[in-house]
Chain A
Amino acid sequence: MARIELRNIQKFFGAVQVLKDVNLTIEDGEFVVMLGQSGCGKTTTLRAIAGLETVSTGTISIDGREVQDLRAADRDIAFVFQSFSLYPHMTVQENIAFPLRAVGMSQSSRDAAVKEVAKVLEIERFLHRKPSALSGGDMQRVAIGRALVRRPKALLMDEPIGALDAKLREQMRAEIKRLHISRNSTSVYVTHDQIEAMSLADRIVVMHAGLLQQVGTPEEVYNRPANLFVAQFVGSPVMNVAEVAPQSDGLSFGSGAVLPVAPGLVSHLPAERALRLGIRPEAVVLSESGAAGLLESRISNIEPLGSHEIVDVVLGSTTLRARTEPGRLRTGAPVWVGIDTERAHFFDADSGMALRRIA
């Protein structure tokens, strides 16, 4: 297993800069998920670690050894591709044994290693089938088996379950987590799916436009987003972001709607800067009757989602989305809205950066 360090990584494709000074340390045995939209540079970073992509500047070290100039074959890492990349003309057995055979391992050792991996991944009964005769989930199991069979220093996965259906994704997610725990392998996983990231990661790396936006535990990324991008990218439904102005009696949402909040909250906010309030739907408080700290509003829409409902409430010139238990409220009915100030985030409107939380 290995510690991976990226220092000042930059990557240009022609004139386009896709990685802008990426610095990241992945600890031995850690499961790091790189999360971001398409084109944010997460796959390029992963491919650079693997050696499938060269970097323009910067260093990549695996266990203290600089590898940025080494071929992929010499880095001793394994890679699981989104497209599975199984060799179509070989059986499952031959596919998994390929990395062992390529380095001249004896047949008996190969067979034993394949058998062990196949058992862990529960693909023993497919060993003599061709990949084309397997389902998507089984193909990905084989791809993971091929990656694990030679006990690499690190396991890199590029959206490995992105091509599977929702149910299978959930199942495979659990399997990947189980494998990681049992093998304690250093794993780097790329995805655009925040649920995958939250459920798998020891640490999440949120990327946008070639830059690392935040590196932290799932709890940190969710509860203490570093900037507006992270705030709105992580979480479903997305965090409410509203333009607010602090006033002596509360937060103004425009059009005369002022939400009363504790004076201590607003007094610490910089009055001279344009601000954005970030509040997760579960931190928006709804009540059928008025009380201190609540502002009367109306419900414009309700999305029933079975276990809970997403309720849209109009507050001044903004609509906030709140998460409530099902069947409690009706569209058009009056409602009193408040926010859980402990879970309110404030961002600088110009830079998008989070303002330090007030005590």
Chain B
Amino acid sequence: MADVITRLDPTSRAAARGFSDMTIRNLFIIPTIVFLIVFNVFPLIYSLWTAFTDYRASTAAAANFVGLANFRELLSDPDIWRNFTITAKYVVITVTGQVIVGFGLAMLLNRKIPLKGLITTLLLLPMMLSPAVVGLFWKLLYDPSFGIINYFLGLGKFEWLAQPQMALWAVALVDIWMWSPFVMLLSLAGLSAVPKHLYEAAEIDRAGPFYTFFRITLPLVAPILMIAIIFRTMEAFKTFDHAYILSTQPTTELIAIRLYKMAFLEWQTGMSSAFAYIVLIVVVAITNIYVKYLNKAKAR
């Protein structure tokens, strides 16, 4: 085959190899860049501009530059701080839950068990579903009158989503159910990358199971586990779909829900843009902390 190609003239040679560099540029790279500019870069810059205005997308009135007024107002609004507190609590509950459940499942799957492939696939199903669909059927499961959860737990007509204290935990449980498989998948990759001979060496060195877990397994899986935590933290901060569908309690009003209401129910476009930027800065800051830990873990 290589011989045939070298005997052809340059144009035919390019055709025989596949697309030329120019064709690849025109077919794939330019549309991607255009798409990115139209749907990502432009909204990002435009929303940064609107964050400094009193723009309302529902009116024809021109936007007036208001400087940092939106940011000042938001940061001095106790309700916004309440939203942040709820979200922080939600992030801690969900990410912790997902790491415990996901890593635990990965530990169980990282051994010789029958039907391992099938079990792994079944466990991955939740994260493949649409969050809106997940929200809808968990709403049915939680239903105080005919929900199967109350039926199995014998809790009568317990109001999972209407009780202010319980609602956030109920919403978080759905997130844990949905995204633990993601942590499990990454942990499984990390666990299977730990060389078997290190466990043999630890056994020879008379290390017990707990000592081996904390001194060998965990440090070696930590970098990949940290990546899973970064992804899940960023995602948890942005949680909207299933939380919005499941509960209307003020105690479950995550920042994404508050942002949605501000932008599309109250039509405070300028204010909501400023809010979105505050959220962005917070997420980037938290991610940075994690990345620092990740680099430290990698260096170890």
**Any chain B CB within 8 A of the CB of A78?**
yes
Which of A51, A87, A89, A102 makes the CB contact (< 8 A) with B208?
Answer: A102
Proximity string of chain A (69-102) to chain B, C-beta cutoff 8 Å, 1 when within and 0 when not: 0011100011101010111110000000011001
Q: Flag if A99 contacts B205 (CB, 8 Å).
A: yes
Residue of B nearest to A83 (CB): B197
Q: Are A89 and B206 closer than 8 Å at their CB atoms?
A: no
Instruction: Judge whether B61 is part of the interface by a CB distance below 8 angstroms.
Output: no
Chain A residues contacting B204 (CB-CB under 8 Å) are 50, 52, 72-73, 77-79, 99
Chain B residues closer than 8 Å to A323, beta-carbon distance: none
Is A103 interfacial (CB-CB < 8 Å)? Answer: yes
Alpha-carbon gap, A85 to B204, bound state (A): 11
* CB-based contact A79/B206 at 8 Å: no
Question: Which A residues are in CB contact (< 8 Å) with B207?
Answer: 73, 98-99, 102
Chain A residues, CB < 8 A from B197: 81, 83, 85
Interface residues on A, range: 20 to 34
Do A102 and B211 contact each other (CB < 8 Å), given the known contacts A88-B220, A89-B219, A89-B220?
A: yes
- Which of B201, B206, B216, B300 contacts A81 (CB under 8 A)? B201
Q: Does A146 contact B (CB under 8 A)?
A: yes
Residues of B close to A79: CB separation below 8 A = 200-201, 204
Question: Known contacts A87-B216, A89-B220: does B201 contact A103 (CB below 8 Å)?
Answer: no
Task: Tell me which residues from 187 to 221 in chain B have a Cβ below 8 Å from any Cβ of chain A.
Answer: 195, 197-198, 200-208, 211, 215-216, 219-220
Total contacts A to B, CB within 8 angstroms? 58
CB within 8 Å for A85 and B198 given contacts A102-B208, A102-B211 = yes
- Smallest Cβ-Cβ distance to B220: which chain A residue: A89
Q: Knowing A83-B197, A88-B220, A102-B211 are in contact, say whether A72-B203 is a contact too (CB < 8 A).
A: yes
B198 touches A71 (CB 8 A): no
Known interface pairs A81-B200, A85-B198; A102-B205 also in contact (CB < 8 Å): yes
Closest chain B residue to A130, Cβ basis: B300
B205 interface neighbour in A51, A89, A98, Cβ under 8 Å: A98
**Most chain-A Cβ atoms within 10 A of its Cβ — which of B198, B201, B206, B300?**
B201
Tell me the smallest distance from the CB of B89 to a CB of chain A, in Å: 33
Closest to B200 in A: A52
Instruction: Report the Cα distance A50→B198, complex, angstroms.
Output: 15
Query: For residue A72, which residues in chain B have a CB less than 8 angstroms away from its CB?
Result: 200, 203-204
- Can you report 20 A-B residue pairs in the complex whose CB atoms are below 8 A from each other? A72-B203, A73-B204, A77-B204, A78-B204, A79-B200, A83-B197, A85-B198, A85-B200, A85-B201, A89-B219, A89-B220, A89-B300, A99-B204, A99-B205, A99-B206, A99-B207, A102-B205, A102-B206, A102-B208, A150-B206
Additional 18 contacts, C-beta under 8 A, given A81-B197, A81-B200, A102-B207: A71-B203, A73-B205, A73-B206, A79-B200, A79-B201, A83-B197, A85-B195, A85-B198, A86-B201, A87-B201, A87-B215, A87-B216, A89-B300, A98-B215, A99-B205, A102-B202, A102-B206, A102-B211
Which residues of A does B touch, CB under 8 Å? 50-52, 71-73, 77-79, 81, 83, 85-89, 98-99, 102-103, 146, 150
